[in-house]
Amino acid sequence: MIAIVGDVKAKEIIPVLDRYFGRLPPGQTPARCGRLEPKAIAEKQVLKPDKAQPVYLEGYHRAAVTSPDDATYQAIAEVLGTGRTSRLYGSLVRDQKVAVQASVFPSFPGGKYPGLMVFFGIPAPGRTNEEVQAAIRAEIDKIRSQPVTDEELDDGQVAGQGFAGARTAEQHGDRAAARRGSDDLAATGARSSPASPRSTRSPRTTSSASPRRPSCPTTGPSR
């Protein structure tokens, strides 16, 4: 590639470029870099001790946003981790007080290619990453046995794109279809990763930063 900057005119400079560089043979097109990581066959844990606020993150492999299951991931993120009425906030922050913040990233680091669905929590003073981990996993398991409720639909908690189909059905008076959509949240979640039983969970990445070495690993998910 040749770049020319300045007060130049294309019709004047292109002949000059052709004279000096036109006789050079074209090179081979480089191979495209791979965009998919190798298939994970086991859980990966990363621990980063640091003199800083402890943080716990847990990631599950998921498909790209072009996948038919993307709506389910978005809905799970809405129900579990969006706002103060979300299940994670209600359980970890308000009720158990093990965390000062808890949420979900539905696509990390982005959605164009397969990546991670990340759950994270910041421990409250005097609480540990291990407590946050246990509380997050309890809520992930609970989404299977306690699918999205009518109240969560009515509150508009899942009014985003993740539950657009269920909301549309509900607006047209098909309450049963809306409930089927919420039931699919758990069914697809179990098939995809975060909502499956501990023994059959898809390999996950757990990560945590802590000022001291915790008994279980915890830090930002790595791809």
| pLDDT tens, position by position, 64-90 | 999 988 888 888 888 888 888 889 999
Can you tell me the distance from the alpha carbon of 20 to that of 87, in angstroms, rounded to the nearest whole number? 66
Mean pLDDT of 194-217: 43
Where does the chain have alpha helices with state H?
10-21, 70-81, 87-88, 129-145, 150-154, 164-171, 175-192
**Residue 213 and residue 54 in contact, taking contact as beta carbons nearer than 8 Å:** no
What is the arrangement of strands in the sheet containing 115-123, beginning at the earlier edge strand?
44-49, 204-210, 55-62, 115-123, 99-108
pLDDT in tens, 137-184: 999 998 888 777 777 766 654 444 444 444 444 444 444 444 444 454
What type of residue sits at position 39? K
What domains are defined for the chain? 56-210 (3.30.830.10)
pLDDT for residue 55 is more than 90: yes
Strand, coil or helix: 49: strand
pTM of the model: 0.61
